[in-house]
Structure 1
Amino acid sequence: MSLSLSFLGGVGTVTGSRFLLEHEGRRLLVDCGLFQGLKQLRLRNWDRFPVEPRSIDEVLLTHAHLDHSGYLPALVREGFAGRVHCSRATAELCAILLRDSGFLQEKDAEYANRHRFSKHKPALPLYTAKDAEAVLPLLTPLPFHSEQRLASGATVQFRRAGHILGAASIDVEWGGRRIVFSGDLGRTNDPVMVDPEPVPEADYLVVESTYGNRAHDGRDAQDELEAVVSRTVSRGGTVVIPAFAVGRAQSLLYQLEKLSSSGRINNVPVFLDSPMAINAGDLFCAHLDDHRLSAGECRRACGIAQYVREVEESKALTANPMPKIIISASGMATGGRVLHHLKRYATDPRSTILFSGFQAAGTRGAAMVAGADRIKIHGEYFPVRAEVGNLPMLSAHADADEILSWLGAFRRPPKMTFISHGEPDASDQLRHRIEEELGWPCRVPEHLEKASLS
């Protein structure tokens, strides 16, 4: 019985996760993400999908971040009509993220056409908000820790992966083989999210490697956040924090509430300028089983910020000269409202642009963290005069040691471990450590490679 695995994305990069399992004429797609970052990666979003979308029977999602779910509206528009299986929290988050993604792509295309800075005439969105709406009826929640038989014949089980609300590692049993997809693994002993749950065994394993070549900074996140806020406010500046609306924004609010309630930062207003992050916070408080916080801690964390929902409120916030903290999406400064804040505050030497985790190659965030003296936004260059910092210890991804610890819970080595979701050096260094420290066979696949799982 033939079983194969094709790597349609998520190798050689931390974006565009797409893995295709095929068995006896049936097709199961694990994750359906957008490519982000470098232009040559983003252009892949516009390529014809490597297999006919209508030929895919079902989709499994590890979690809701757009690099894992964000291509779904295009897949559905091109003919996919099967079920999209995920955890309940992932389904609810996708309803927020996919709508927002379609809306922003329409707005970005409209802005580019109005200001005539796009090379494309006219600039078009990859998909629309209407395309995103068509995905929502297909989202089918599955419970954690329960084997579920799918229409394709595969049996799947979700285990919590930490990382963000609803994130899962997925165990697929099909054609007499057990294939495990780690998804994005969260941190061990994170103050907000649960630890990634161990997996007992697999014949084949696909594991992420975002931080496969490094260990997280051991400094205390609250100490570092306090120091940045204090010195910025003392010189009359504003702290702008580009943050992922799902996961990172809620963790930042938790840390800021702790600092405020203990008197370590006083009278510094906090603004959450992201309708998507505001909505995600509501879900965070509704899914207490997916994280460590109590209902009261959730309410206090979400209550530390003043919510900014309307565009005019956001513009007024940008223009307001008072010292403050602005948390706004997106986390790598690739789009969204944070770009308008960067236009204003990246040019201000009193202010700070504070990133809070991994910045993929080719993103504004990566450029700024690396010391770029100017950034391009909406076709125009802006000088970077503000202080620029990063708090990598706030990352929601396991580092190399934590990935090795998670792998150590397997009762036996898989026949093959495929290293995915990492930039080339990170993936190769993790491969080397797995081979040397665990003695497992492993490899880093190529984009569009097809492997036989015998």
Structure 2
Amino acid sequence: GDIGRPHDPVMRAPVTIEEVDYLVTESTYGNRLHDTNDPQPQIGKVINQTIKQGGSIIIPAFAIGRAQSLLFYIYQLKKTGVIPNIPVFLDSPMAVNATNILCAHKNDHQLNDEQCKRLCDVATYVNTPDESKKLDVQSMPKIIISASGMAEGGRILYHLKAYAPDPKSTILFTGFQAAGTRGARIIKGEKEIKIHGQFVPVRAHVEVISSTSAHADYQELLEWLSKFTKPPKRIFITHGEPESALSLKNKITEKLGWNCVIPQYQQTEVLN
């Protein structure tokens, strides 16, 4: 039920659908609106401030979609001279594969050939665990984009262990952080986080840029739904915290008068 957003820098806008029998939709931001500011200048500002301090920028990122958008922003920032030619590392096997797939299917996104090539070339791809570990002993300022996006697993945990204690460095979050995840706890301001059984102090700067989200907010979802020429028999609202799902259900009911269901775990529905 992930609809997408109308102004993504890489992916095309959601296709308009006029009629379906049943619809499954997400509700990640069912009770919120996105920041409308362009994220690119904000990312550039964070990078430059961190470089000036002699630190590194550590970005937990979702491997598919978010990592590629970040590479595009960084390419644009370098191209326009907003940031210096700082080393960039993409340290996620899945993100590397997804980026290669993006460049192999140039008709399925909105980047032209030149943009796609530059996006793919802007970062050094980190393939092996040994290559990943070497990043954490290198002292020069750099940007590391790594998964998982909520810091719940993956190679990002090793980078957080290395750089979270460094007051010169910055942890930059650009995606939704579910309640209870390490990412959410870091954003909340916890002074130490547990990684691999050890408590790691968080002395690095923590920055959050919310306008990069690939999930539509409730306004964008309502605009997309309003283009249907015939209401679905039922809408199943998924992929959201309980309060977000309920808020979206109420908004759809109030504005469109459609029949909405928030499925519960193992709930069965009959489609006819």
Normalising by the smaller structure, the TM-score range is: over 0.9
Q: CA deviation at 1:370?
A: 1.9
**1: CA distance between counterparts of 2:12 and 2:99?**
17
Corresponding position of 2:33: 215
Q: Distance in 2 between matches of 1:396 and 1:411?
A: 25
Deviation at 1:310, TM superposition (A): 2.1
Please give the residue correspondences for 1:130-209 in structure 2 after superposition, counting only pairs within 5 Å: 183-209=1-27
Query: What's the counterpart of residue 169 of structure 2?
Result: 351
Total equivalences in the alignment: 272
**Larger C-alpha radius of gyration, 1 or 2?**
1
| Structure 2: distance between partners of 1:400 and 1:362 | 23
Q: Secondary structure at the match of 1:450?
A: coil
The CA deviation at 1:202 is 2.2
The code of the aligned residue for 2:191 comes to D
The answer to whether structure 1 residue 311 and structure 2 residue 129 are counterparts is yes
Q: Is 1:380 matched with 2:198?
A: yes
Secondary structure, in 3 states, of the residue corresponding to 1:267?
coil
Q: Which residue of 2 aligns with 1:247?
A: 65
Q: For residue 93 of structure 1, what is the aligned residue in structure 2? A: none
Aligned partner of 1:230 in structure 2 is 48
Normalising by structure 2, we get a TM-score of: 0.96
Residue 343 of structure 1: CA displacement?
Answer: 0.2
| CA shift digits 1:229-261 (9 cap, x unpaired) | 011111111100011121111110100000001
Q: Please give the secondary structure, in 2, of the residue aligned with 1:265.
A: coil
Shift of 1:441: 2.1
Name 2:185's counterpart in structure 1.
Answer: 367
| TM-score for the superposition, normalised by structure 1 | 0.58
How far apart are the structure 2 equivalents of 1:203 and 1:340?
46
Q: Which amino acid aligns with 2:227?
A: A
Alignment partner of 1:292: what SS? coil
In 2: Cα distance, 1:279 partner to 1:204 partner: 33
Deviations 1:212-241 (A, max 9, x none): 111111121111001100111111111000
- Rounded Cα–Cα distance in structure 1 between residues aligned with 2:92 and 2:193: 22
Identity %: 55
Which of 51, 63, 76 is the equivalent residue of 1:258? 76
Please tell me the residue identity of whatever aligns with 1:271.
Answer: F
Aligned mates of 1:297, 1:238 — CA distance in 2? 25
- Give the Cα separation in 2 of the matches to 1:204 and 1:326: 41
Cα deviation digits, residues 400-427 of structure 1 (max 9, x gap): 1111111111111222222111110110
TM superposition shift of 1:390: 1.8
Partner of 1:416: 234
> Relative contact order (alpha carbons < 8 A, sep ≥ 6): 1 or 2 greater?
2
Q: State how far apart, in whole Å, the 2-side matches of 1:186 and 1:213 are.
A: 16
Superposition RMSD on alpha carbons, in Å? 1.3
Deviation at 1:275, TM superposition (A): 2.6
* Whole-angstrom distance in 1 between the partners of 2:85 and 2:103: 25
- CA distance in 2 between counterparts of 1:276 and 1:202 reads 33
Aligned residue for 2:102? 284
Amino acid across the alignment from 1:283 = I
Q: Distance in 2 between matches of 1:433 and 1:316?
A: 50
What does residue 339 of structure 1 align with?
157
CA distance in 2, matches of 1:430, 1:292: 29
Aligned to 1:301: 119
Partner SS, residue 148 of structure 2 = coil
Question: Does residue 1:390 correspond to 2:208, yes or no?
Answer: yes
Query: Which letter maps to 1:203?
Result: D
Q: CA offsets, 1:265-292, max 9 Å, x none? A: 0132111122322222111001122210
Q: How far has the Cα of 1:203 moved from its partner? A: 2.7
Gaps of 5+ in 1: 1-182
- 1:433 to 2:251 alignment: yes
**CA distance, structure 2, for counterparts of residue 235 and residue 222 of structure 1:** 20
Question: 1:415, 1:331 → 2: CA distance?
Answer: 35
State the partner residue of 1:449. 267
State the partner residue of 1:77.
none
Structure 2 residue runs of 5 or longer lacking an equivalent are none
Name segments (4+ residues, structure 1) moved above 6 Å.
Answer: none
Residues 9-40 of structure 1 show CA distances to partners (whole Å, capped at 9, x for unaligned) of xxxxxxxxxxxxxxxxxxxxxxxxxxxxxxxx
Could you say what secondary structure the match of 2:43 adopts?
Answer: helix
Instruction: Report what 1:81 is aligned to.
Output: none
Secondary structure at the aligned position of 1:418 is classed as strand
**Are residues 1:404 and 2:222 paired?**
yes
Question: What is the alpha-carbon distance in structure 2 between the residues aligned to residue 266 and residue 223 of structure 1?
Answer: 14
Partner of 2:145, secondary structure, is strand
1:316-335 counterparts in 2 under 5 A? 316-335=134-153
Alpha-carbon deviations, 1:373-421, whole Å to 9, x = none? 2111111111111111222211111111111111111111222222111
